[in-house]
Amino acid sequence: MERSEFFLPAAGRKVDAPRHRRAHFAIGDVVRHRLFDFRGVVFDIDPVFANSEEWYEAIPEDMRPERDQPFYHLLAENEDSTYVAYVSQQNLMRDGDGGPVDHPGIAQLFGTFSGGRYRLHRSLTH
């Protein structure tokens, strides 16, 4: 499989990624975690794991996802709070509720909510 190396500022390092890895979700999609009770809006996608080693090692080994898959940055919510989450593709699924997410950061990035997804503000697209 052909691979590429690129720099990820959030990780502060270069990462090696398969050139043809496909993300199942897009920016603006509303998703739900497969194991934990939270949902969120995708606002960024890393083609492979690009967080810190400390973050990765903090995940219990029997639950630790493979690094060589897309990871999603989410504006997330559960019953108690809102936060930013970093989740592997294998642990996400489309949200069946289809309703909007109640996160204070959504208005900064997204406009309308329609068809189960948010539209990125036009000024943020290239």
Q: Do 1 and 68 touch, CB atoms closer than 8 A? A: no
Residues 52-77: pLDDT tens digits? 999 999 999 999 999 999 999 999 99
62 in helix, strand or coil?
Answer: helix
To the nearest whole number, what is the mean pLDDT of the chain? Answer: 88
The pLDDT tens digits of the residues spanning 77-113 come to 999 999 999 999 999 999 987 789 999 999 999 999 9
Quick check: 7 pLDDT over 70? no
Question: In the chain, what are the domain boundaries?
Answer: 19-119
Question: Are 119 and 106 contacting, i.e. CB atoms less than 8 angstroms apart?
Answer: no
Tell the CATH topology of 19-119.
Answer: SH3 type barrels. (2.30.30)
